[in-house]
Amino acid sequence: MTLPPIPQTDPRAGYLAHKAEIDAAIRRVLDGGWYILGDEVRAFETEFAAFVGTAHAVGVANGTDALEIGLRALGVGPGDGVVTVSHTAVATVAAIELVGATPILVDIDPADFNMAPDDLAAVLANTTLRIKAVIPVHLYGHPAPMAEIARLAAKVGAGVLEDCSQAHGAAIDGHQVGRFGAIAAYSLYPTKNLGALGDGGVLVTEDAALAGTLRALREYGWRQRYISDSPGLNSRLDELQAAILRVKLGTLMAENARRQAIAAAYDAGLARTPYRTPAAGPGVSHVYHQYVVRTPERERVREHLKAQGIATNVHYPLPVHLQPAYRGRVPIGPAGLAETEAIQGEIMSLPIYPQMTDAATARVIAALREAMPG
């Protein structure tokens, strides 16, 4: 008997799990006749801010725009430096360059793949650039060490813009990520823990003045319609996507719990094997946007799983500083990027999504154990 394939992620399954509610939400918008920045966006913003625990949320067109708008709201522009990691989606660095600033890339802690505070400190102590912002990325759903990062940034007067695109609902000591910096940016891409059925993004902040700036920047710099007080963008979350996101927000924590259960099964099934599995740090709620293992025989293992109909992925095959568009021209912190480069050929993202069955999880574990490196 041929077993069904196991995708690495499955946004269609997320739609089918809530089909009736999503279809009703779409119909509500279509029947309502208002399609841009209306009641659905306002309601989603209110509900998402309450979910994170912040005072304000601002919906935008996608996660890259969220980062760019967040940087602009912090006053970042040409001549400024912004510190972030090289092991991230390229969108993080692209947004920095979109505002004309210079990205400075620092290394990661190999335990959780997030920004290493010691390397951030080395940059802040040694750079000749004016550091205007720091962007920690809560990669794979594991929070970055925000207490140390926020403390270091405050010492030099740099704003903190959290990149929460892979960490919807993740927390540190019971406090959700998105609440540790001046602003936080989220992607709502379909594969995210909270994903639209198309592109989307959202920013959160506790500061009313910043929230007003974010709202103006997403729509041509308007504070009064058709009057641009400052240069802005056209980056608006669609009413249709907002309505869909409102449905999915209601089940996000339950679906995060399912991701955590799958991760726990992987932990148990891969214990005492040569695979290096992820671990949540103390006081951390990891929401497992990705479950990433390390093995020096990654490509052989991936081929073995592929032959059994099990898809994997690599997030990411090249760190930003080694990608053709950035190689040799983006500054690197004085401590170098040894850990970032060390994981490049070893990391592998296993299948994980809320609708994944226990049987599928067991198949992945069995295939990994069959393919165990010697």
Q: Specify the CATH number for the domain of residue 77.
A: 3.40.640.10
Residue 2 belongs to a domain: no
The reported pTM is: 0.97
Statement to judge: residues 56 and 174 lie in one domain: yes
C-alpha neighbours within 13 Å on the C-beta side of residue 172: 14
What tokens does 8 get? 């690495």
Query: Which of residues 217, 249, 281 is at a domain's end?
Result: 249
pLDDT (0 to 100) of residue 128: 85
Residue at 104 is within a domain: yes
How many angstroms separate the CA atoms of 312 and 307, rounded? Answer: 11
pLDDT in tens, 85-127: 999 999 999 999 999 999 999 999 999 999 999 999 999 998 8
DSSP line for 301-370 = HHHHHHHTTB--B-S-SS-GGGSTTTTTTS-B-TT--HHHHHHTTTEEEEP--TT--HHHHHHHHHHHHH
Residue 174 falls within a domain, yes or no? Answer: yes
Structure tokens at 56: 């304000």
pLDDT mean across residues, the chain: 96
Beta bridge partners of 186: 202
Would 4 be classed as within a structural domain? no
**Residue 74: both structure tokens together:** 């912090």
The set of residues, in sequence order, having a beta carbon less than 8 Å from that of 291 and lying 6+ positions away, is 140, 262, 263, 266, 278, 349, 350, 352
- Do residues 177 and 275 both lie within one domain? no
Task: Choose among 187, 181, 172: nearest CA to 112.
Answer: 172
**Are 273 and 135 in the same domain?**
no
* pLDDT tens string 161-216: 999 999 999 999 999 999 999 999 999 999 999 999 999 999 999 999 999 999 99
**What does the alpha-carbon distance between residue 195 and residue 166 come to, in Å, rounded to a whole number?**
10
Same domain, 308 and 352: yes
Q: Measure CA 366 to chain center.
A: 29
Kindly state whether residue 40 falls inside one of the protein's structural domains: yes
Dihedral-angle region of residue 288 (phi above 0 means left; psi in -120 to 50 means alpha; beta otherwise): left
Answer for the pair 201, 60: CB distance below 8 angstroms, yes or no: yes
Which pLDDT does position 228 carry in this prediction? 86
Q: Domain range spanning residue 137?
A: 12-249
CATH code: domain of residue 363: 3.90.1150.10
Rounded Cα–Cα distance for residues 48 and 204 (Å): 8
Amino acid at the residue 159: G
| Strand 291-294 versus strand 347-350 pairing type | antiparallel
Q: What does the alpha-carbon distance between residue 321 and residue 84 come to, in Å, rounded to a whole number?
A: 11
pLDDT for 1 beyond 70: no
- The yes-or-no verdict on residue 231 having pLDDT over 80 is yes
Averaged over 300-324, what is the pLDDT?
97
Assigned token pair, 358: 């226990």
The answer to whether position 366 is within a domain reads: yes
Domain presence at residue 329: yes
At 373, is the pLDDT very low, low, confident or very high (cuts 50, 70, 90)? Answer: low
Overall domain count for the chain = 2
> Where is the domain boundary, 230, 249, 268?
249
Q: Of 187, 218, 249, which one is at a domain's C-terminal end?
A: 249
